[in-house]
């Protein structure tokens, strides 16, 4: 299914390297398209992007096929992506709210997506015996689950599109909002945050995201529990992916993402109550 061949336009265009992601080598722009190596989760991602196109969801690239070099071809979405160092607007609360609305719009658009027969999420992850338990809440949809500032395109100061669906997998809506908070509140020890996000009011920013998502009360009361359990598991899963996939994942592990996750766990112990209060206050 994902083997549809992309037909190049008559006029050839130069390849321009796209940087910003942590993981995928060789992402380039060619004219109005992006070329990416086909990742381990490609069958799911291609079916997912087709679903989003079919339901008319504007906040994702279209999947156009596979080029002669075997790369996936996606539409290029114009706009701003944060990049590093983070831009001055990274802590802006109006942008933050727009992220919450985009995540909600995506979750609603994907809610009717059913994995095609034979397509399985490929996280590359195998459950390990010493891994802490997952949150006890069932998956509700195929989540994006990677709302980093490098994976959101802004237009006119608002989050307009999600890119990089490599980590898409069945998830609950709380998992999705947790992931958005992780990167945008952000959740974690301030020493690990971008300078402009080190002194922000994190519980307040969590509330802004939850309100923009229109998160129901039950989910608000589950958020901190999910954050703690997902963080505990993240240490194990990041280690395993680094060992099995190598590349950018191994580099992140060597650069200390494991220690960063441990600092996040400790920070959540200290700040979880304040976040829960902010989320559930009338
Ligand atoms: N469809 C797209 N439209 C616009 N920019 C894109 C698109 N795909 C990728 N990019 C840009 O390229 C960067 C890296 O691509 P991404 O798919 O996120 O790879 P990685 O797996 O390395 O994170 C993004 O952060 C973004 O700036
Ligand atoms: Mg990315």
Instruction: Classify residue 197: in a domain, yes or no.
Output: no
Residue 157 lies in a domain: no
The CA distance from 243 to 249, in Å, is 8
Distance CA 73, CA 66 (A): 6
* Inside any domain, residue 270: no
Distance 220 CA to ligand 2 centre (A): 27
Q: Quick one: which atom of ligand 1 is closest to the CA of 22?
A: 22
Does residue 87 lie in a domain region? Answer: no
- Strand ranges, E, within 56-209: 63-66, 72-75, 141-143, 152-155, 158-162, 169-171
Q: 52 in a domain, yes or no?
A: yes
The CA 164 to ligand 1 mean position distance, Å, reads: 6
With respect to residue 44, please indicate whether it lies within any of the assigned structural domains.
yes
Contact 240, 250 (CB under 8 A): no
- pLDDT for 126 equals 73
Nearest ligand to residue 162 Cα: 1
Predicted local distance difference test score (pLDDT) of residue 212: 99
The ligand placed nearest to the CA atom of residue 39 is 1
* Residues having CB within 6 Å of any atom of ligand 1: 18, 20-24, 27, 34, 36, 61, 74, 76-77, 81, 150-151, 153, 163-164, 166
Nearest-angstrom CA–CA distance, 67 and 6 = 5
**pLDDT tens track, the chain, 282 positions:** 447 999 999 999 999 999 877 778 899 999 999 999 998 899 999 999 999 999 999 999 999 999 999 999 999 999 999 999 999 999 999 999 999 999 999 999 999 999 999 998 876 577 788 899 999 999 999 999 999 999 999 999 999 999 999 999 999 999 999 999 999 999 999 999 999 999 999 999 999 999 999 999 999 999 999 999 999 999 999 999 899 889 989 999 999 999 999 999 999 999 999 999 999 999
Tokens of 85: 């160092």
Tell me which of 76, 150, 183, 245 to substitute to probe ligand 1's pocket, judged by most ligand atoms within 8 Å of the beta carbon. Answer: 150
Q: Is residue 135, in this structure, part of any structural domain at all?
A: no
- Measured in Å, residue 222 CA sits from the centre of ligand 2 at 27
Q: How far is the CA of 167 from the centre of ligand 2 (A)?
A: 10
Q: Which ligand is nearest to the CA of 146?
A: 2
Residue 272: the pLDDT is 98
Beta strands 33-36 and 72-75 are antiparallel
Give residue 220 CA to ligand 1 midpoint distance, Å.
31
Asked whether 136 and 244 are in contact (CB, 8 A), the reply is no
Phi and psi for 140 in degrees, rounded to 5? -115, -20
Token pair for 272: 């979880």
Q: What is the pLDDT of residue 25?
A: 85
Domain extent at residue 29:
15-75
User: How many structural domains does the chain have?
Assistant: 1
Smallest Cα–Cα separation from 82: which of 163, 192, 1, 171? 163
pTM of the model: 0.96
Does any domain span residue 66? yes
Which of the ligands is closest to the CA of residue 249?
Answer: 1
CA-proximal residue: ligand 1, atom 11 (nearest): 18
Tell me which residue has its CA closest to atom 1 in ligand 1.
Answer: 76
pLDDT of residue 127: 78
User: What is the atom index within ligand 1 of the atom nearest the CA of 24?
Assistant: 22
Nearest by Cα to 203 from 115, 158, 270:
270
């Amino acid at each position: 299914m994902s083997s549809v061949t992309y037909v190049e336009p008559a006029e050839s265009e130069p390849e321009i390297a796209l940087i910003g992601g942590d993981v995928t080598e060789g992402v380039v722009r060619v004219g109005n398209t992006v070329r990416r190596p086909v990742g381990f989760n490609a069958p799911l991602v291609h079916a997912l992007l087709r679903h989003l196109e079919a339901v008319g969801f504007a906040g994702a690239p279209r999947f156009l096929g596979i080029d002669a070099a075997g790369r996936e071809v996606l539409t290029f979405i114009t706009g701003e992506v944060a990049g590093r160092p983070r831009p001055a607007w990274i802590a802006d609360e109006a942008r933050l709210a727009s992220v919450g609305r985009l995540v909600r719009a995506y979750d609603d658009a994907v809610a009717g997506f059913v994995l095609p027969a034979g397509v399985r999420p490929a996280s590359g992850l195998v459950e390990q015996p010493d891994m802490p338990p997952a949150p006890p809440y069932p998956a509700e949809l195929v989540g994006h689950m990677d709302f980093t500032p490098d994976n959101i395109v802004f237009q006119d100061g608002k989050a307009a599109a999600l890119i990089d669906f490599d980590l898409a997998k069945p998830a609950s809506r709380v998992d999705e909002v947790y992931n958005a908070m992780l990167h945008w509140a952000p959740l974690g020890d301030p020493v690990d945050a971008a300078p402009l996000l080190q002194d922000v009011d994190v519980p307040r920013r969590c509330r802004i995201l939850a309100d923009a998502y229109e998160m129901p009360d039950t989910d608000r009361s589950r958020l901190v529990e999910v954050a703690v359990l997902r963080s505990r598991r993240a240490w194990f899963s990041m280690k395993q992916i680094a060992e099995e996939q190598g590349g950018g994942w191994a580099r992140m592990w060597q650069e200390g993402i494991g220690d960063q996750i441990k600092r996040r766990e400790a920070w959540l112990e200290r700040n979880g109550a304040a976040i829960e209060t902010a989320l559930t206050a009338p």
